[in-house]
C-alpha cells in the first residue's frame, strides 16, 4: 500500500488538523479498516499527547542575569573610530578642494580679461570665449571627474548618515 513516510505524513496532518475534509475522511476510513494505519495512528497520537505535557526548559533567571552582567563588563568601542582613519577623510577632502580650485584656475586663465569693458555682461566677463573643449575632451580627465563625483557622493552620504545617527541618539 503506502510507504511508511507517506502514512506518517498523512497521520500527522490528520492529528494536527491540517488536512482537508476529503483527506480526513480517507484517513479515518484507513484507520478503521487497516491495522497498520491504526497502530501507527495510536503510536503517533501517544507521541503527540506526550509532547503536550512536556514543559519547555528555560535557563534560570540568575543565568540570564550573569550573562548580561558579563556582557556589560566589556566596553564596546564606537565602530567608526576603530576602522575609519580621520587622516584619510581629510586627504580625500583636500583632494576634492584641490581639484575644484584647479578647475577654477584653469577656467579663469582661459578668460580674456582685456575685453571686460566692451561687453554688456554686468560682470564684465565674456564666457563665450572660454575654450572648454581643451578642458573636457581628454578621457583621463573625464574619468578623474567621474571618480571625484562618486567619491564626493560617498563623502556626502557618510556626512548625512552621521548627522542622522546623531539626531536619533538625541
Q: Using alpha carbons, select from 167, 161, 155 the residue that is nearest to residue 90.
A: 155
Per-chain mean pLDDT for the chain:
81
For residues 100 and 95, give the distance between their C-alpha atoms in angstroms, rounded to a whole number: 9
H/E stretch holding 78 reads none
Residue 21 domain flag: yes
Non-local (6+) Cβ contacts of 10 within 8 A are 2, 19, 23, 27
Question: Which of the pair, 57 or 77, is modelled with greater confidence?
Answer: 57
Residue 106 domain flag: yes
Res 77 pLDDT > 70:
no
Task: Say if residue 108 is in the same domain as residue 157.
Answer: yes
- What range does the domain containing 15 cover? 4-53
Residue 64 domain flag: no
Q: What is the C-alpha end-to-end distance of the chain, expressed in Å?
A: 69
Residue 74 domain flag: no
Res 150 pLDDT > 90:
yes
Residue 149's pLDDT is: 92
Task: Say if residue 86 is in the same domain as residue 163.
Answer: yes
Number of domains in the chain: 2
pLDDT band at 1 (very low <50, low <70, confident <90, very high): very low
Task: Say if residue 164 is in the same domain as residue 92.
Answer: yes
Of the residues 53, 70, 93, the one at which a domain ends: 53
Task: Say if residue 90 is in the same domain as residue 26.
Answer: no
Amino acid at each position: 500500500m503506502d510507504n511508511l513516510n507517506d502514512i506518517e505524513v498523512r497521520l500527522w496532518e490528520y492529528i494536527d488538523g491540517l488536512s482537508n475534509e476529503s483527506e480526513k475522511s480517507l484517513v479515518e476510513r484507513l484507520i478503521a479498516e487497516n491495522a497498520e494505519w491504526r497502530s501507527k495512528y495510536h503510536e503517533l497520537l501517544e507521541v503527540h499527547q506526550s509532547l503536550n505535557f512536556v514543559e519547555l526548559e528555560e535557563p534560570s533567571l540568575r543565568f540570564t542575569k550573569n550573562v548580561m552582567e558579563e556582557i556589560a563588563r566589556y566596553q564596546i568601542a564606537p565602530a567608526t573610530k576603530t576602522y575609519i582613519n580621520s587622516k584619510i577623510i581629510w586627504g580625500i577632502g583636500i583632494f576634492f578642494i584641490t581639484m575644484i580650485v584647479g578647475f577654477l584656475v584653469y577656467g579663469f586663465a582661459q578668460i580674456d580679461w582685456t575685453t571686460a569693458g566692451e561687453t554688456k555682461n554686468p560682470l564684465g566677463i565674456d564666457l563665450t570665449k572660454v575654450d572648454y573643449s581643451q578642458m573636457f575632451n581628454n578621457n583621463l580627465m573625464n574619468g578623474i571627474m567621474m571618480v571625484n563625483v562618486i567619491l564626493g557622493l560617498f563623502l556626502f552620504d557618510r556626512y548625512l548618515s552621521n548627522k542622522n545617527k546623531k539626531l536619533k541618539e538625541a
